[in-house]
Amino acid sequence: MRTSTRLRQMLDQPGLIVAPGAYDGFSARLIEAAGFRCVYMTGAGTAASHLGQPDLGLATLTEMANHASHLAACVTLPVIADADTGYGNVLNVVRTVREYERAGVAGLHIEDQVAPKKCGHIAGKQIIPTQEFCDKIRAAAEYRTDPDFVIIARTDARAVTNLDDAIERGNRAAEAGADVIFVEAPQTLDEIQRVAREVKAPLLANMV
């Protein structure tokens, strides 16, 4: 069974999926050895370990896809990989999805920051218009070759505009075809609970 199919089956079940962040093959193997069911290839961790640089959009599509392929080859678990902004416009997103599928990961996330992006916990981020974000997500969903490949839409709107905008973007992205919505950087437990109530899709929460 493909790891993408296994991940989708996990998403169809109730409860949480805990996916610790991996930055190289060794950390991915430690996650598997510890008994977790899924691995998340962190973009910040990859930039730090692979380039020795902060997460400022310096890693290219080729570098990230190659790194993802190494992690996926090291473990039997589904690997979800950070794909930053999709590395360009809608056409670039289509190529990104194909390269990540070829890398053997089970899914990816694409975010709504202006390129070059910044780590979600760094000030000064900018976001693209909602419609442009949704066009990217729609392209990712429509042009994946594996129907089980999981598309996660991440919005950084909470830190740039407000939570209302983040929730609206999440729901719009779900309508565009995202399988999971990732609202980055909620500030309180109440905000996390509100996202869970108002976003009509499976959710990802990032704990740093």
Q: Does the active-site annotation cover 143?
A: no
Q: How many CB atoms lie within 10 A of CB 87?
A: 21
Strands of the chain (E only): list them: 21-22, 39-41, 79-82, 107-111, 150-155, 180-183, 203-204
Q: Does the active-site annotation cover 84?
A: yes
Spatial distance between the Cα atoms of 120 and 98, rounded to a whole number of angstroms:
25
Q: Say what the pLDDT of residue 116 is.
A: 74
Q: Say what the pLDDT of residue 118 is.
A: 60
Specify the pTM: 0.94
Q: Say what the pLDDT of residue 121 is.
A: 64
Q: Say what the pLDDT of residue 51 is.
A: 76
Residue 147 carries which side chain, given as an amino acid letter? Answer: P
Please pick, among 67, 84, 101, 138, the residue that the annotation labels catalytic: 84
pLDDT tens sequence for the chain (208 residues): 999 999 999 999 999 999 999 999 999 999 999 999 999 999 988 888 877 877 777 789 999 999 999 999 999 999 999 999 999 999 999 999 999 999 999 999 999 999 877 665 667 789 999 999 999 999 999 999 999 999 999 999 999 999 999 999 999 999 999 999 999 999 999 999 999 999 999 999 998 7
Q: Does the active-site annotation cover 206?
A: yes
Please pick, among 8, 67, 154, 172, the residue that the annotation labels catalytic: 154
- Identify the residue whose tokens are 């992006």: 117
User: What is the span of the domain harbouring residue 152?
Assistant: 3-204
Q: Say what the pLDDT of residue 122 is.
A: 66
Q: Does the active-site annotation cover 82?
A: yes
Q: Does the active-site annotation cover 55?
A: yes
Q: How many CB atoms lie within 10 A of CB 189?
A: 8
Please pick, among 8, 38, 40, 101, the residue that the annotation labels catalytic: 40
- Identify the residue whose tokens are 């990961």: 105
Domains held by the chain: number: 1
Q: Does the active-site annotation cover 156?
A: no
Residue-wise burial string across 111-144, b where 16 or more C-beta atoms lie within 10 A, e elsewhere: bbbeeebbbbeeeebebbebeebbbbbbbbbebb
φ, ψ dihedrals at 92, nearest 5°: -65, -40
What CATH number did the domain enclosing 16 receive? Answer: 3.20.20.60
Q: Say what the pLDDT of residue 96 is.
A: 98
